[in-house]
Structure 1
Amino acid sequence: MHLNSLTALTLVAPASALIRFGCSQLVVERLDPLVTPGLNPSPHLHQIIGGNAFNVTMDPASGDIAEKATCTTCQFSEDLSNYWTAVLFFRARNGSYHRVPQIPNVGFDGQQGGMTVYYMQDGLANYQQTSKVTAFKTGFRMLIGEAAYRAKKDANRFRQITYTCLQDIGTRFPETMHLPKEPCQAGIMANVRFPTCWDGKNLDSPDHMSHMSYPETGTFENGGPCPTSHPVRVPQLMYETIWDTSKFNDKELWPEDRSQPFVWSMDDSTGYGSHGDYMFGWKGDSLQRAMDSPCYVNCPTLKTQSIDAMNKCSVPTVVDENFDGCE
């Protein structure tokens, strides 16, 4: 979707809710308390946003992270959830790796890195957002994507993990499943969309995915029904992360064979291993209230904090390592 289309949508009075908000960087760290809880360091580097209760273990038995966190890097101060993805690197011709910086999305000038998060009741094309959804519950967590995948035939399992080669900050299409193969003028946007059907029982599952499902037929965007095994329709959670690849666009820096030089922190240069992790941490019923309210992009039922406050929330790094300019 182009920027002018998103602006036009904000002029339409919705019947229900879609919220879009920025979250600054909390920490860049080689920890993954969802997939490898307690392991320090985890197998690959992540960039994390959200509440400062984030830690190496995050045992669900230890209590509600919304009660443990004292601040959040997200715009809505009642959202103390944690959201994370892998980290993108540039592999230079001389073999060195350089972390690609993250930049704010449209409308979030001043935000330090981080991502943009959406909770949607219907696809963006449905201006009225008429569907009803059940918000995630305390202790809920999920994963989408597989870090080990390197082929499209495998990644096809996940319907909506994509990339947008930005010609300007408002570019929203086309989307590809692989990392762009040519320089992108304004950077690369990594898009992660989660399934929208829940089994209604389990807050997690051994693979962190089986308690969730895609619609039985059709898609979230066209209102496809949930399967009987996963009958509860939840908001579509979506991440947008803008990686500022522009300073690496000189092809003289690229490998001599001119192959695509960007690589995820799990050593994936195809893009098919992209994945996203989520741990729910909204205070009380604040997310359900928002989903039941006529919110669109912003939401008067939620408490909003300043970008300065978002930027001030952080946690200290646990793993002492240099991950910039390494070989």
Structure 2
Amino acid sequence: MAEVRLRNIRKGFGETRVLEGIDITIADGSFVVVVGPSGCGKSTLLRLVAGLETADAGEILIGGQPVGHLEPGDRDVAMVFQNYALYPHLTVAENIGFGLSVRGRPKAEIAERVRRAAEALQIADLLDRRPRQLSGGQRQRVAMGRAVVRDPRVFLFDEPLSNLDAKLRVVMRSEIKRLHRQLGATSIYVTHDQVEAMTLGDRLVVMNNGVVEQEGAPLDIYTRPATAFVAAFIGSPPINLLAGRRGNDGGLLLAGDGAAAIMLPHAGALPERAQVGIRPEHLLPCAESEAEIRLVADLVEAQGAETIVHGLAGDLRLTARLGGETRISEGEAIPLRVQPGSLHLFDAGTGRRLC
């Protein structure tokens, strides 16, 4: 195990700048998830730590030692890829132990370490099979076993669950979390899936266009996003982001594309103009007399435990997350109020958080 530090990392490919001044410290034994949209630079960052790419500027330290000059095999890191990268002609046991064989480790040691890794990943009964005889989830466990057996200081995961179906991704998320608790190894996990990020990470690093927008504990980022981008990216369904301004009576005025507008009470100081964020779960059903918003449903997604309602309030498009017992038809209006203290305000120009 080891702390990983990235200091002012910059990377480009030709004229395209991919990473711009990345500064991150990943504590020894922690599980950090780097999350962001495709093309934001997160996989490039992971490849730099692994030694598969070279930074244009900056410094990478593992366990306090600079590693920028070291080859990938000398950094004592192990990487799990999304495409498994298994050798089809080798058995599961041979795939898991391949890296140790290349390093000339004794056969008895390889066999013992493969056995322990297979037991930890619950694939001990598959050691004699070949990759074509395995399911997607089993192949991913083998790929993880190949990393585990090396007992590295740092584990790197590059979107390892993206090829699995939705149900299996949930299972494998639990397996990865369990394995991390068992091994206690420093782990860096890259994904574009914010549900994976929220459920797996001790800390999140949210990236956008080659820079870090925010880092912190998952719930802290969710409840207090630093920018409108973070607010929109973290959360499912996504946050409602609306144009807003200070009303004549001091309240908050939400204005749509046309003439329709909604006035909301607000206790704090308001800017002249802002982006206003309202999480779907903070739109609460209420009596008609208490309604601040009347949402006319045009799409209702009944999901059992919850009901997602998409619709229009005047000409403002909103999404509300309501209880599973909610019964509403398309075209029907539902009275809603905003949970007090739940609004997020962002600068209309920069997108930075105001309050």
Above 0.5 in TM-score? no
Structure with greater helix percent: 2
- TM-score, reference length from structure 1: 0.21
- TM-score, reference length from structure 2: 0.20
Instruction: Work out which of the two has the higher radius of gyration on C-alpha atoms and give 1 or 2.
Output: 2
Answer 1 or 2: higher relative contact order, Cα 8 Å, separation at least 6. 1
Structure with greater strand percent: 2
